[in-house]
Structure 1
Amino acid sequence: MSDQLIDAPDVSDAAPAPRRRRRAPRQDWRLGGRTVRRWDVVVLAVALVSVGLGIVGGGLLSRVDAPWAPIASSLTLWVGFAVAIGFAFARSRPIGLLRFRPVDVLFGVGVGLALRGMQGAVAGVAPFPTAGMLDSSLPASWWLTDALPAVLVAPVLEEFLFRGVLLVVVYQLLRRAAGSLAAGFAALLVSTGAFILVHAIGGTLSVADAVVFGAVGLTCGLLVLLTGRVWGAVLTHVVFNAAYVVLMVVGTALS
C-alpha cells in the first residue's frame, strides 16, 4: 500500500452555492401578494351571508308601521355591511387599497358632481328637489336621520363593501385563472350589479334610477381598479349624495 495520502478536495475551491434572490414585496394589491391572498372564498361567503341577513332584517323592519321603523331598517342593513367589511379587513389589509392621495379629492369632487349632473339629465328631476312632507323648513331631526346618513354613513359603508371588499375579492379570485383584464371586468360587473340590487330592495326601481346607480357603481369601481385605492370612490359617492342634499335644502327653502 502506498504511503502517499490521497488529496481531499479543497472546499475553498468549490463554487459558492447560488444565493436565492429574495422577491421584493408587492406594493399593489392588484398584482397579488400575501396582503390580498387571505381575501378568498371565505371572505366572499361571509360578505354574502352578512349582507343577506342585513337585507332580510332591514326589509322586515321597513314593513313595521312605526316612526322608528325606517331608521331601524337602515341600521340593520348597515350592520350587515359593517360585519362583512370588518371581517375582511381583520384578515388582512390589501396593500395600497387604503392609501390616500390628494388627487383622490379631485376625483371625488369632479366625478361626483358630474354624476349628479348626469342623474338630473337622465331622471329628469327638478333642478331643486324638495322634501315632500316638509314645508319650507327642515327640522333638526331631518339632518340626523336623513342628511347625515345620506352624506357620510351610506356612501362610506357602501363603497367599502361593494368596491373595497366585493370587487377586490372577485378580482383576487379570478386574476390568476382569467388574467387581470377579465378579472377586473368580472369584478366590476359583480360589484355594480350587487350595488343596484341592494338599492332596488324596499321599492320599485325605475329604469332611470337603475341607469344612475349603474353609472355610479361602474365609475366608482373603475376608480378603484385604475388607482388601486378606495378613497376616490368613497369621496365620489359622498359628493354625489351631498350635492343632492344641498339641492334639496335649497329647493325646500324656496318652496
Structure 2
Amino acid sequence: MTVTATGAAHPRAVRWGLPDVLVGVVAFVVLSAVVRVLVRLPGVGGEAWLVLGIEQVVSGWLPLVAVVLLATWWRGRRSLALDFGLRFRPVDVAVGLAVGVGLRLAALGLAEVVRQLSGTRATAFAGGVGDPVLFVVFAVLAASVVSPVVEELYFRGLALRAIERAVAPAGAGVRGAAGAEGTGAATDARRRRAAVIAVLGSALLFTVFHLDGVPETAAAASRLLTLFVVGVVLGVLAVVTGRLGPSIVAHGAFNLTVAVLELVTPPAVGG
C-alpha cells in the first residue's frame, strides 16, 4: 500500500511478469552450474547427504524462492497471498490429497503401459529406506513439504499468473492484474484463452526444470510426459480455485507417494 499526500491509501501497482520468470530461469541455470562444481570438491562429493542438500537448496529452492520474494516485494503488493494466491482453505486438504494420489496412480499406469510397449523397466523403486534420517529429511520433509510450497509459488504462482497477464493484460480480469475486471463475452473469451495458455506454459516450464537431460529411453520420456500432465492438473487447480492451497497439497501428496512406494517395495536383492 502507498499513501498519497491527502492521506488516501492505494494498493501498490503490480509490475512483476515474464521478466521475473526469466530471471528465475537464468538463476536456476547459473546456480545449477555452480552446484555441479561444488559437488566435485574434495570432502563434498563423497558425502551423499551433503550433495543432496546442496543440490536441493542451492539449485532447487534458492533461485525460485529468491525470484518470488523479490517479485512480490519490489514489483508487487508485498503479499504472497495477494500476488500469487498463497492461501489455504480446509477443503484444499481433501481436494489436494485426492488429486495427488490420483496423479500418482495415473503415473504408475502410464509407466506400466510404457513397460509393456517398450519392454523396458518404467519404474525404479529401490525398496527400503536406507538411512532412516536421510529418508525422512529428503524423501518426506524436503520432497513432500518444502519443495511443493517453493515450486507452486514459482510455477503456479508467479509463472502462471505472469503468462496470464502477458496474454490478457491488466483490466482484462486475470489473476494478479491491477485494476477492475472487464466484462462481456470478449473479455471472458480472452480470460479463458489466457488461462489455457498459462496452464500449458507453466506446465512446460515445470517439466523443463525437472529435465535432467535429453530422454534416452521410453521410460525417461514417460517421466517427462507425467511431469507435464502433473503440471497441467496443478495449473488447473490454481486457476479454478484462484489459490495455491489445493495445488500445494496435491503436489505434496504426489511426491509423498514415492516415499510410500519405497517403504512398501521389497529391497532389491544383489544391489
TM-score bin (small chain) = 0.7 to 0.9
Q: Which of 51, 55, 62 is the matching residue for 1:69?
A: 51
Q: Which of 12, 16, 27 is the matching residue for 1:50?
A: 27
Q: How big is the shift at 1:238?
A: 0.4
Residue 181 of structure 2 corresponds to none
- The structure whose Rg is larger is 1
**Residues 18 and 159 of structure 2 are in contact (CA less than 8 Å); yes or no, is this contact kept in structure 1?**
no
Percentage identity across aligned positions? 26
**Residues 50 and 83 of structure 1 are in contact (CA less than 8 Å); yes or no, is this contact kept in structure 2?**
no
Does 1:214 pair with 2:199?
no
TM-score normalised by structure 1 residue count = 0.74
Residue 105 of structure 1 corresponds to 93
> Number of matched residues?
220
Q: How big is the shift at 1:147?
A: 2.9
Q: Which of 230, 253, 257 is the matching residue for 1:239?
A: 253
TM-score normalised by structure 2 residue count = 0.70
Q: How big is the shift at 1:242?
A: 1.0
**Residues 150 and 242 of structure 1 are in contact (CA less than 8 Å); yes or no, is this contact kept in structure 2?**
yes
Does 1:190 pair with 2:201?
yes
Structure 1's 222 and 35: CA in aligned 2 closer, same or farther, altered over 3 A?
farther
Secondary structure class of the residue paired with 1:200? coil
Structure 1: any 5+ residue segments left out of the alignment?
Answer: 1-32
Distance 2:212 2:142 in 1: 18
Distance 1:56 1:137 in 2: 29
Q: Which of 14, 38, 42 is the matching residue for 1:37?
A: 14
Structure 1's 130 and 52: CA in aligned 2 closer, same or farther, altered over 3 A?
closer
Q: How big is the shift at 1:231?
A: 1.0
Distance 1:238 1:158 in 2: 10
Q: Which of 129, 132, 136 is the matching residue for 1:139?
A: 132
Q: Which of 158, 167, 173 is the matching residue for 1:174?
A: 167
**Residues 137 and 253 of structure 1 are in contact (CA less than 8 Å); yes or no, is this contact kept in structure 2?**
no
RMSD: 3.0
Residue 66 of structure 2 corresponds to 83
Structure 2: any 5+ residue segments left out of the alignment?
Answer: 1-9, 116-120, 173-188
**Residues 61 and 70 of structure 1 are in contact (CA less than 8 Å); yes or no, is this contact kept in structure 2?**
no
Structure 1's 188 and 89: CA in aligned 2 closer, same or farther, altered over 3 A?
same
Structure 1's 168 and 96: CA in aligned 2 closer, same or farther, altered over 3 A?
closer
Structure 1's 35 and 164: CA in aligned 2 closer, same or farther, altered over 3 A?
farther
Distance 1:253 1:232 in 2: 33
Distance 2:26 2:130 in 1: 41
Q: How big is the shift at 1:202?
A: 5.8
Q: How big is the shift at 1:141?
A: 2.5
Secondary structure class of the residue paired with 1:37? coil
**Residues 16 and 71 of structure 2 are in contact (CA less than 8 Å); yes or no, is this contact kept in structure 1?**
yes
Structure 1's 58 and 74: CA in aligned 2 closer, same or farther, altered over 3 A?
farther
